[in-house]
Structure 1
């Protein structure tokens, strides 16, 4: 015999709960960037204007908070991608938009100690990024900009490599010159032979 359905309607999280979660993610981004991955979680909660219990209700541990930051970055990447753009322009756009996230990822990775479950979550995030990039890659391959044997993983690796060139102290002209040169070199390796 099946259980009767719960008569109460399911609701989306209340707006104030969503705002607190957003505040926690923003505060964690700032705190991890400024103080490193080992910053006390109480500092993050205080910066977000919430208590420690609210932080733990939303994020059971530090790794979950880091994953939320990077998942939010993946959301932004997905929203900005236009497969019709030339691949060089797309990569440059993603590198510029994701420079802060890539710097933060490198900083967190240096201090991160992951258990098996969290390693799996980071792998899922990488696979999600590859799925997000797939339509752009397919369109670039159809236009002959990228070889047919280049995978979404290869494209993500290209973006990550180019991202290491953007440093916060660089002037805009230097960023443009560095990215232009690097992307020409990288894309020559991606083009059909």
Structure 2
């Protein structure tokens, strides 16, 4: 669907520019934009490589696992139906720890594995379970202490102070995570109310 939207925008823009005889500025903008994209991409590669190296060091040194142990009691309260020693719990904790520390590349494998393990616990295989939905919501709105990707983009764009985004990012992601958890609890309660039988046994 997204590809169709982009196709319509591009083709529509070309047609409109042709009708208004402005093809030259459009062509110049395309050339300038592609040049800028290459510059940003190369700048992004350097800083992203640095952050990935730091993430690897944190993983190998045990920092991420130590942080995961700190998160474990909190995660167990968010997913009370999953045994503490189940592989799904371990993978979810590691995924959240990696996301919070800004290690997106390290978080993805743990997230995929967590979903696989949660699917094994899912009684209805063709529909996401409540725990899967909760995990997805928290994963999407995750607290981020080190927004490495945004910092990398700001460095590539020649920002004078690329790390000023850290404070606002922490505040914004804390609120987004809080909203995700509260909304998840509300929808869980509504779902239980909708599926629960009437107290008098009627229809």
TM superposition score normalised by structure 2: 0.29
Relative contact order (C-alpha < 8 Å, sep 6+): which is higher?
A: 1
TM superposition score normalised by structure 1: 0.29
Larger helix proportion of the pair: 2
Structure of higher CA gyration radius: 2
